[in-house]
């Protein structure tokens, strides 16, 4: 029997598995499996029955009955958000069929941990149809799209996006966690983040004249530059107001010319806010607790790097601020630099847990489990009580 409900949300913590280990339970893996089984049973009994009335759904992937949802039409559903982890390949491969049953989808948010050792290097959303394939996905017209570890060849980037206002091609959890620990298998995703060339290929496929907000997470291959990508961003989106870039170095010895990057972005004349995580050489990364290291980098960050970048970007006529990612003891936050002609103070270091926090940190006990940070062994253990 159908259930009349327009909106349903069920969220789970980012580090749920690790939190169970943190609680020192007798058998955390068994307790986690029992919790997941209970959630999956409950959602399987509830969610498919919402297909006639649901307009917004927020669901954990590990308990979402995608296969049974694919057997129904979701005529009113316009906003979908998935988080968590895929269960198996069958669930992953059910999404192209499921999305063909959601004709009014406008907002899609998928931050899902990928599976290891499968035929899919990156999980499909609509998949990639070969010439002659008779299967036709739904006629989707998106206004907002967030995807972690997307496949550049996925047909989601070929749907109608002329009304798209927000696009995020990102990571989940944040890739800088991989750089902080020797055991990246435990803290990161098995799927690779996009390269700068893959980002560019995706953007070129999408006709987005109304785009106002863009987030990209990408890796610059050794021996290459991302100038073409940054130049394309600056000229292709005349309404772009908010830009967030997480740029990573494949070559860990690369010197990042942050002034050059800022000069390329000045061509994007409509920008109001810019957020940059440039993976700079010398950055201690997240989870560093060694106070002298933190203070030294903050001084360079506050007195040299930030002023140089904002000094260039302030030529943008509408710019309100540039925010740079800074890894504090309590988490990775966005610190604000304002143009010289803007309101004071011109530098703000935030310590709150709201919009300025970029991502949840791995629980403290699990940081001990995964051993040392990449900067120095002292940087991890000093200051941890």
Return the CATH number at 307.
Answer: 3.80.10
Under DSSP, is residue 203 helix (H, G, I), strand (E, B) or coil? helix
Looking at every residue in the chain, the average pLDDT score rounds to 87
- Is there a domain that residue 211 lies in? yes
Inside any domain, residue 343: yes
- Residue 335 falls inside a structural domain: yes
Query: Within a domain: residue 2?
Result: no
How far apart are alpha carbons 238 and 164 in whole angstroms? Answer: 13
Q: How far apart are CA 326 and CA 332, in angstroms?
A: 6
- Predicted confidence at residue 329, as pLDDT, reads 79
The closest alpha carbon to 346, from 290, 385, 306, 295, belongs to: 306
Identify whether 1 is part of a domain. Answer: no
Q: What is the DSSP letter of 274?
A: E
Q: Specify the pLDDT at position 132.
A: 60
- Please name the helix (run of DSSP H) or strand (run of DSSP E) that holds residue 144, with its range, or none: strand 144-148
Per run of 10 residues, the mean pLDDT along the chain (length 385 residues) is 91 72 63 84 96 97 95 97 93 93 96 85 86 62 97 94 98 86 55 94 98 98 93 98 97 92 98 98 86 92 97 98 91 93 87 73 55 40 35
Convert the pLDDT of each residue in 192-218 to its tens digit.
899 999 999 999 999 999 999 999 999
What pLDDT score was predicted for residue 121? 85
Q: According to the model, what pLDDT value does residue 291 have?
A: 87
Structural domain of 314:
7-381
How many structural domains is the chain composed of?
1
Closest CA to 15 of 291, 376, 373, 369: 369
Could you give the C-alpha distances from 276 to 158, 161, 261, 337, 358, in angstroms and in order? 28, 25, 10, 11, 12
Residue 196 placed within a domain? yes
Residue 351 lies in a domain: yes
Residue 69 lies in a domain: yes
Query: What's the pTM value of the predicted model, to 2 decimals?
Result: 0.90
């Amino acid at each position: 029997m159908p259930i009349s409900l327009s909106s349903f949300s069920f969220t789970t913590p980012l580090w749920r598995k690790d939190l169970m280990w943190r609680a020192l339970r007798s058998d955390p893996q068994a307790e986690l499996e029992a919790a997941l089984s209970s959630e999956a049973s409950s959602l399987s009994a509830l969610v498919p029955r919402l297909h006639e009335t649901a307009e917004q759904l927020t669901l954990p992937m590990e308990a979402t009955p995608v296969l049974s949802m694919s057997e129904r039409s979701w005529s009113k559903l316009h906003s979908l958000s998935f988080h968590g982890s895929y269960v198996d390949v069958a669930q992953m491969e059910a999404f192209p069929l499921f999305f063909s049953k959601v004709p009014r989808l406008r907002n899609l948010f998928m931050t899902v941990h990928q599976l290891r050792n499968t035929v899919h290097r990156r999980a499909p959303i609509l998949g990639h149809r070969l010439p002659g394939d008779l299967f036709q996905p739904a006629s989707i017209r998106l206004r907002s799209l967030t995807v972690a570890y997307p496949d550049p060849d996925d047909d989601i980037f070929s749907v109608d996006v002329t009304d798209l206002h927000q696009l995020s091609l990102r990571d989940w959890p944040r890739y800088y966690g991989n750089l902080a620990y020797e055991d990246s298998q435990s803290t990161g995703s098995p799927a690779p983040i996009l390269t700068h060339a893959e980002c560019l290929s995706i953007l070129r496929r999408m006709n987005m004249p109304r785009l106002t907000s863009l987030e990209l997470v990408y890796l610059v291959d050794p021996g290459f530059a991302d100038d073409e990508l940054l130049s394309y961003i600056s000229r292709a989106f005349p309404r772009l107001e908010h830009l967030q870039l997480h740029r990573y170095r494949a070559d860990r010895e690369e010197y990042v010319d942050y002034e050059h990057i800022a000069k390329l972005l000045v061509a994007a004349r409509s920008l109001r806010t810019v957020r940059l995580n440039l993976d700079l050489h010398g950055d201690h990364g997240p989870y560093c607790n060694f106070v002298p290291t933190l203070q030294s980098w903050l001084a360079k960050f506050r007195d040299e790097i930030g002023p140089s970048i904002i000094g260039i970007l302030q030529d943008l006529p509408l710019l309100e601020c540039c925010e740079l990612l800074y890894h504090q003891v309590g988490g990775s936050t966005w610190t604000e630099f304002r143009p010289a002609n803007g309101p004071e103070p011109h530098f703000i270091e935030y310590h709150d847990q709201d919009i300025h926090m970029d991502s949840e940190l791995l629980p403290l006990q699990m940081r001990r489990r995964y051993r040392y940070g990449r900067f120095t062994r002292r940087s991890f253990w000093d200051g941890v009580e």
